[in-house]
Amino acid sequence: MKFQQYYLECLSHASYLIGDETSGRAVVVDPQRDIAQYLADAEASGLTIEMVIETHFHADFLSGHLELAAATGAEICYSAIANPEFEHRKMSDGERVSLGEVVLEFRHTPGHTPESMSIVVFESAEATEPYGVLTGDTLFIGDVGRPDLLTSVGFTQDQLAEKLYESLHNKLMTLPDETRVFPAHGAGSACGKNLSTELTSTIGDQKSTNYALRAPSRDAFMEMVTAGQPPAPSYFIYDAVLNQRKRELLDEDALPAALTLEEADRAIAGGALLVDGRTPEEFALGHLEGAINVGLGGRYAEFAGSIIPSDADIVLFVEDGYELEAKNRLARIGFDRVVGAISDTTRVLVENPDRVRRASRLTSQAFNDRHAEIANIQIVDVRNPGEVESGMVPDSVNIPVGQLPARLDELDAGRPTVIYCAGGYRSSVAASLLRQRGFNDVSDVLGGYGAWIETTQSA
């Protein structure tokens, strides 16, 4: 058996290639949208990808099932409960598929979504102990899938939480303790609240360490898994729906159109948004007026999808050579409306000084001074609710960065405003968004809340 896990750090997403080297038959599970790595690895191992298996309709990324099916002729497989609008194969609960020696067993495990399923992997038909189980978003390392995302129309949060409890206890925890656990996500994903940085575990380890599996009762479990979940990025609903539809295929080798500043201006005048993918530090030193800063060095697609409408055209502003990366990373969440990328960005900034703006970034001490001196200062904490439980800057209001576009009316554009997050990435995103929306005096805090705590405690 060939078993390979792929981990996409910027989306905390795990996908899998499983192949039978005796028969040359293989499957890919929960693929990302740009599929070159699966094709290359399958070819190198002499494998033919025959099935693309989705554990559920993903909300946090646009899956590559259509791209893989088009490239290989593979069947797209979902739980028998799922009804996507494209041709697919329905897998029944308990159904087994042989790849040769390797056997896959499908278990319906609803809860995160109604159509969720898990895949138990056996190295041979005679094996009595499974090699492992691919749990999708049903069971994570240290957590379980959240039942509250609005991808499950027709079911309440409590109904799904109850189904999740039954799936975990009746379908997954019945597997031998030595069974390896391979989830679809790791730490950082908004699909749960307590995901581990570990990418694999065992059923036995999860029974003893996973807070949700250790819940003393069904009611306690339901209360635990529905409380304190991070806010879901606004693009989640868009992706959950799009993953069920026929759509355009991604050409991951196609560069975005090269735009002059004049061409970019025309697109922006028509409603396109200018997204600057450089670091917060580079952005602060000089950027085009009206640009929103979402750095490629961070969780680029996630935060772009949190603050940019899914139906907006996008003009990219990135360092030369990063245009394709920026386009493809947006495509991973289905944001395909990239009209182009501004060419020779350094020259554009140098030759258009009247269009260039600097961003105010404050040290934690400078922030404290401003807080003390300005009576009507407006302080916004853009961390998630779970992060602010440990404390907030006095007089600050908590609006997670992904909720800012919908909650701007809670803020006064005429007041001096300071934004902070945990470290400085999200605050640059948020501050640039506020400037783009007409806030005139906006700063963010270098080092975020951690730096502020250190400065305050040492004073």
Which residue among 357, 379, 407 closes a domain?
357
Cα 56 to Cα 21: distance, rounded to the nearest angstrom = 27
**What is the structure's pLDDT at 360?**
97
Cα 243 to Cα 205: distance, rounded to the nearest angstrom = 32
- Helix 425-436 vs helix 300-307: angle between axes, to the nearest 10 degrees? 30
- Is 250 contained in some domain? no
Q: In the sheet where 314-317 sits, what is the strand order?
A: 258-259, 338-342, 314-317, 273-276, 292-293
Structure tokens that stand for 262 in this block: 């004049």
CB 77 within 8 A of CB 49: no
CATH of the domain at 349: 3.40.250.10
- Is 222 contained in some domain? yes
Q: Are strands 273-276 and 314-317 parallel, antiparallel or unpaired?
A: parallel
The reply to whether 108 and 229 lie within a common domain is yes
CATH of the domain at 160: 3.60.15.10
User: Counting Cβ atoms within 10 Å, is residue 239 exposed (0-12), middle (13-18) or buried (19+)?
Assistant: buried
- Which pLDDT tens digit goes with each residue over 193-218? 778 889 999 999 999 999 999 999 99
The reply to whether 36 and 128 lie within a common domain is yes
List the single range of 44-58, 222-236, 304-318, 384-398 with lowest mean pLDDT. 222-236
The reply to whether 305 and 368 lie within a common domain is no
The reply to whether 277 and 210 lie within a common domain is no
Q: Which residue is associated with the tokens 């990324």?
A: 61
- Is 442 contained in some domain? yes
The reply to whether 288 and 222 lie within a common domain is no
Which residue among 297, 322, 357 closes a domain?
357
The average pLDDT across 258-277 equals 98
Q: Which residue is associated with the tokens 């999708």?
A: 136
The reply to whether 10 and 135 lie within a common domain is yes
The reply to whether 105 and 118 lie within a common domain is yes
Structure tokens that stand for 334 in this block: 């289905």
CB 281 within 8 A of CB 297: no
Cα 32 to Cα 64: distance, rounded to the nearest angstrom = 5
The average pLDDT across 74-103 equals 98
**What is the structure's pLDDT at 150?**
56
Cα 285 to Cα 395: distance, rounded to the nearest angstrom = 29
Q: Which residue is associated with the tokens 């501050």?
A: 431
Query: At 190, is the pLDDT very low, low, confident or very high (cuts 50, 70, 90)?
Result: confident
CA–CA distance from 387 to each of 61, 145, 165, 231, 260 (Å)?
24, 19, 26, 12, 42
**Active-site entry in 10, 77, 191, 421:** 421
Cα 114 to Cα 108: distance, rounded to the nearest angstrom = 9
SS3 427: helix
The reply to whether 208 and 268 lie within a common domain is no
The reply to whether 297 and 415 lie within a common domain is no
What is the 8-class DSSP label of residue 86? S
Q: Supply the range of the domain harboring residue 45.
A: 2-242
CB 398 within 8 A of CB 381: yes
Query: At 385, is the pLDDT very low, low, confident or very high (cuts 50, 70, 90)?
Result: confident
The reply to whether 185 and 64 lie within a common domain is yes
- Is 378 contained in some domain? yes
CB 166 within 8 A of CB 218: no
Which residue among 215, 242, 269 closes a domain?
242
**What is the structure's pLDDT at 151?**
45
Cα 405 to Cα 402: distance, rounded to the nearest angstrom = 7
Cα–Cα nearest to 319, from 277, 262, 283:
277
SS3 87: coil
Instruction: Look up the pTM and report it.
Output: 0.94
- Is 163 contained in some domain? yes
Overall domain count for the chain: 3
The reply to whether 148 and 214 lie within a common domain is yes
Indicate if 10 belongs to the active site. no
The reply to whether 282 and 420 lie within a common domain is no
Whole-number percent of the chain with pLDDT over 70: 99
CB 431 within 8 A of CB 418: no
The average pLDDT across 359-367 equals 97
- Is 248 contained in some domain? no
- Is 79 contained in some domain? yes
Whole-number percent of the chain with pLDDT over 90: 90
SS3 351: helix
32 Cα distance to chain centroid: 11
- Which pLDDT tens digit goes with each residue over 128-181? 999 999 999 999 999 999 998 754 467 888 899 999 999 999 999 999 999 999
Q: Are strands 258-259 and 287-288 parallel, antiparallel or unpaired?
A: unpaired
- Is 101 contained in some domain? yes
